[in-house]
Chains A and B, each alone.
Chain A
Amino acid sequence: DAMVIQNPRYQVTQFGKPVTLSCSQTLNHNVMYWYQQKSSQAPKLLFHYYDKDFNNEADTPDNFQSRRPNTSFCFLDIRSPGLGDAAMYLCATSRGQGNNEKLFFGSGTQLSVL
């Protein structure tokens, strides 16, 4: 059974057109993360939520925003996508109770920008 679910699997948007990616979890975990993975590169953390507390990475562009309306759902909003934002976006969760916890990843959303 899928525990971290990302929709859609593939998303195509136009240059400058706002887009929202979705993530849901059935694990009741406190922490939800968004990672960006560009082609042939390592995943890079954009931001995370601990419960309702939002934590942005210092080098995450302002173009990227996130919302977490409840424990189960988290959204990634790209306000004005550029060609350089084409990537796989990975959502992950963890319990948030220790330093060596396992992160559970979704299957990702592959974003294309035309």
Chain B
Amino acid sequence: GDSVTQMEGPVTLSEEAFLTINCTYTATGYPSLFWYVQYPGEGLQLLLKATKADDKGSNKGFEATYRKETTSFHLEKGSVQVSDSAVYFCALILPLQGAQKLVFGQGTRLTINP
């Protein structure tokens, strides 16, 4: 079935470091891809998305490009901040009856030290 695999965490970086969190997917067809972020004690927030091959999603300095040839959607940020500390989930979306189902990766916990 359709699935998402993320790099193992946790990831610990220093402030202003470059960030990459790897994500690959297995899917029938070409589903839309998402990155969600979960700050401590909070629900999930959409960070960025891409709906077709070669699309680049971006938000708050984060970017991810939908790569059909490698079935990947890696998250990157050039200079991380302490406030970026959170758990990041890669996800794909499947259609349901009148709705959508998000299939998430296992999440990557990111800690940024000052």
The answer to the question of A90 belonging to the interface, with a C-beta cut-off of 8 Å to chain B, is yes
Q: Which 5 pairs from chain A and chain B are nearest by CB? A: A42-B104, A50-B98, A105-B43, A105-B44, A31-B99
- Provide the B83-114 mask, 1 if CB < 8 A to any CB of A, else 0: 00000010001011111111011110000000
- How many angstroms between the C-alpha atoms of A113 and B95 in the bound complex? 33
- A92: chain B residues at CB < 8 Å are 44
Contacts A100-B49, A105-B45 given; indicate if A48 touches B107 (C-beta within 8 A).
no
- Provide the A12-55 mask, 1 if CB < 8 A to any CB of B, else 0: 00000000000000000011010000001111110010110101
Contact across chains for A41 and B102 when beta carbons are under 8 A apart: no
Chain B contact surface mostly: strand
- A43: chain B residues at CB < 8 Å are 44, 89, 102, 104
Among A42, A44, A48, A90, contact of B99 (Cβ-Cβ < 8 Å):
A48
Contact across chains for A50 and B97 when beta carbons are under 8 A apart: yes
Residues on B close to A: CB < 8 A?
4, 32, 41-46, 49, 51, 89, 93, 95-102, 104-107
Contact across chains for A55 and B97 when beta carbons are under 8 A apart: yes
Taking A45-B102, A55-B97 as known contacts, 10 extra A-B pairs with beta carbons closer than 8 A to each other, sorted by chain A number, are: A31-B98, A42-B104, A51-B98, A53-B97, A55-B99, A96-B99, A102-B46, A105-B43, A106-B43, A107-B43
A-B pair number, CB within 8 angstroms: 69
- B98: chain A residues at CB < 8 Å are 30-31, 50-51, 53, 96
23 contacts between A and B (CB under 8 A): A6-B43, A30-B98, A40-B107, A42-B104, A42-B106, A43-B89, A43-B102, A48-B96, A50-B96, A51-B98, A53-B98, A55-B96, A55-B97, A96-B98, A96-B99, A99-B100, A100-B51, A100-B93, A102-B46, A103-B46, A105-B45, A106-B43, A107-B41
- B43: chain A residues at CB < 8 Å are 4, 6, 90, 105-108
- Distance in angstroms from A16 CB to nearest chain B CB is 28
- Provide the A39-76 mask, 1 if CB < 8 A to any CB of B, else 0: 01111110010110101000000000000000000000
- A6: chain B residues at CB < 8 Å are 43
